[in-house]
Amino acid sequence: MKGGNIMIKLNDCVHCQPNGNLLKPFKGTVEKLYERTAMVLVTDYHPDDHWRVVELTGRVIVALKNMQPQFETVPVRIDE
């Protein structure tokens, strides 16, 4: 599935824009993909959204266009 111009896959770690349910940007893991949205398990969020995350049981539906995959940099060892 595409989020903007970037492919979003199941189990991707994503950074999401506020979506009406949560008022601040948040991070999560893609649990299920739909046609234009995905169910995201919220893993990192602003303290102001704590009770909203609790009410949503930690899951929220987000439009693919409002998320980007998180690319983690892994140190690479180069042997000489």
Q: Could you give all domains of the chain from N- to C-terminal order, each with its CATH number?
A: 2-69 (2.30.30.140)
**Per-residue confidence at 77, pLDDT binned at 50, 70, 90?**
low
Distance between CA 63 and CA 20 in Å, rounded? 11
Which run of H or of E encompasses 54?
A: helix 50-55
pLDDT of residue 70: 86
Within 8 A by CB and 6+ apart from 14, the residues are 3, 8, 27, 28, 29, 30, 38, 40, 62, 67, 68, 69, 70
pTM assigned to the model: 0.80
pLDDT value at 72 more than 70? no
Query: Which pLDDT value is given to residue 78?
Result: 58
Coil, strand or helix at 55: helix
pLDDT for 26 equals: 97
Tokens of 69: 């995959």
What's the pLDDT score for residue 71?
72
Asked if pLDDT for residue 75 goes beyond 60, the answer is no
